[in-house]
Amino acid sequence: MDSRSDSQHTPASGGSEKRVSFAALKHRDFRPFFVTTMLAMMADNIEHVISYWVLFQKFQSPVLAGFAVISHWTPFLLLSVYFGALADRYDCRKLIQIAQVMFMAVTAAWAMLFFTDTIQIWHACVLLVIHGIAGVFWAPAEMLLIHDIVGAEDLPSAVRLNATSRQLGILFGPAIGGGLMFWIGAPAGLLLNALIYMPLTIWLMLVPYTGHLREGASARRGLRWRDVAGVLREIAQNRAIVTMIVLGGAASLFVGNAFQANMPEFAHDLGTEKTDLAYNALLTANAAGSVFGGFVLDGKQWVPPTVKSAIACATLWCVLMAAFAFSHSYPLSLALLFFAGALNLAFYSIAQTIVQLEAPRELRGRLIGLFSMSAFGLRAFSGFTVGVVGGFIGIHWSLALSSMLLLAVTIALFAFAQRRQAIGAPG
């Protein structure tokens, strides 16, 4: 693959240049982006907290929870590269605004169905698919936009802080969603929640960034469904990108975030007196760990953005998730989820940074889409490995076995990285 002018110091090369703490925040326009993205992700998680809880109370089905994960993430699997091509081709602000409107429409639909008590399983599946399509619109366009705002030099910080802002939304989402649900009820809470998406939508109307402003317009290649195969051929020789895409895909395939959809059952099995509060606290612990990890990693620069760092963090994450699956102690479960959240943010943000900086400019949106297809789309199958299988063998065993399978993959990738170093390959 040809080298690019803005990646002379790629994270995969393990360069030792000194980086400034919270470098992305020195860019004036990144600061409001950080806040409004956090609010949008908080609204997303308020919706999930309320909808998952109502669905659990009504149906109490691990299989339904697993199917909800499958129906939510399948659009990422099928459409990520195609919508990455859209991000390469069109104004990324408009794509994100389309996604915001879709999110608000889904939230309003949940409110109506809960208010009329007419929710059925097929309703949930349809709404989660629409929600997933909105996420596909959002993801590649968002990454090109932050690249446009901060440039290549500060992109590792921007990716980390962007992931941290999302985790701040996840951190606040359960508490606010739980409060809205119990104070004014699920339907009214969801209607109020729809308004929280508005700040990001309005901010996008006021800034000049298109995702292509800094480096000029991208090549206007045609949009084809066979783009996935073409992109794979073009990046086959870049082993750093391939390794990160495999790592993100394996993590999503085996574990993903399916355990979050089953968190009400984990809370119930831990034997706490207030299951609803335990459920919110478990979700909060995982998000708090991610926020802590994001700020510490960006502030202290302890973990370099390299291939081996991403693999090492993923390996430790597997161990903690398996331990959580078998934990019978509520305080221990909280601690495990906290540190697992930090490690999850670390390896996903490092992997995404490497893919984005190594990508040629004309393929950047497609490669981000390919990473999204792997790292998010394969979560559809984690709904099967953790959720549906959990309906037959129990969610504790399904999560533990899935984590151990992922551990085997990460160990193999670590051995692969060591072999590359031994033969003198960069990485």
Cα–Cα distance between 390 and 398 in angstroms, integer? 5
Contact 343, 311 (CB under 8 A): no
Cα distances (angstroms) measured from residue 152 to each of 35, 202, 260, 353: 21, 26, 33, 10
- Using CB atoms within 10 Å of the CB of residue 223, give its burial: 0 to 12 exposed, 13 to 18 middle, 19+ buried: middle
Cα angle for residues 414, 378, 169 (degrees, 5° grid): 95
pLDDT for 331: 87
Residue range 115-136, pLDDT digits in tens: 888 888 788 878 878 887 888 8
Query: Could you read off the pLDDT tens digit of each residue along the chain, which spans 427 residues?
Result: 333 334 444 455 444 445 667 778 888 888 999 999 999 989 988 888 888 778 777 776 666 676 776 777 778 888 888 888 888 888 889 999 999 999 999 999 989 988 888 888 788 878 878 887 888 888 888 888 988 888 877 888 888 888 888 878 877 877 788 788 878 888 898 999 999 999 999 999 998 888 877 665 444 444 454 556 666 666 666 777 888 888 888 888 888 776 776 777 777 777 665 556 677 778 778 878 888 888 877 776 677 778 888 888 899 999 999 999 888 888 898 899 999 988 888 888 888 888 877 777 767 777 888 888 888 878 777 766 666 676 678 778 888 888 898 999 888 887 776 665 555 444 4
What percent of the chain has pLDDT above 90?
12
- Using CB atoms within 10 Å of the CB of residue 39, give its burial: 0 to 12 exposed, 13 to 18 middle, 19+ buried: buried
> Domains in the chain, please, with CATH?
23-211+223-422 (1.20.1250.20)
Residue range 76-104, pLDDT digits in tens: 888 888 888 888 888 889 999 999 999 99
**Tokens representing 49?**
């907290």
Q: Using the 8-state DSSP alphabet, how is residue 9 labeled?
A: T
Q: What are phi and psi of 148, to 5 degrees?
A: -65, -35
